[in-house]
Amino acid sequence: MKWADAITAGLAFMFLSTPAVAEGFGTQGAAQLYDTYCAQCHGMDRNGKGINTVGLSVQPRDHTDAKAMGDVPDDQMFLAIQKGGLAVNKSILMPAWESVLTTEEIAGLVTYLREVCDCGNK
């Protein structure tokens, strides 16, 4: 793991393990962010079938899939949102959202995704 990734993972752990931050941001705020930025690919129903996915070479993750989501640690999820798919050896089609979303918002989205998949914290 590169130093930059290690620092990011540490930051992710810090944010994600601070309940006040994630809870303070709230499910509603995270759901709105999801609708704005994520649902175009991951679907309004969070099922990976967003409007952009027809003909896409790599299908986005189904965030309601408890088993598949349960295998992804929180820090990897944080990194994927912040730095994009390539940062976690996934598709370039998942862009890096660090220029749009704050660290707190990304942490809130990770917490929200655990609610969507109903697969607990990792």
**Residue 102 interacting with another protein (CB under 8 A):** no
**Residue 89 interacting with another protein (CB under 8 A):** no
Q: What is the nearest approach in angstroms of another protein to the Cβ of residue 75?
A: 20
In this chain, which stretch among 6-14, 29-37, 72-80, 112-120 interacts with another protein, using CB under 8 A? 29-37
Report how far residue 41's alpha carbon sits from residue 18's, in angstroms, rounded to the nearest whole number.
29
Half-sphere exposure of 68 (CA within 13 A, CB side): 9
In the chain, which ranges are continuous DSSP H helix? 3-16, 19-25, 27-33, 39-42, 66-70, 74-83, 103-117
Residues that bind another protein (CB under 8 A): 32-33, 35-37, 39-41, 43-45, 47, 49-56, 84, 91-100
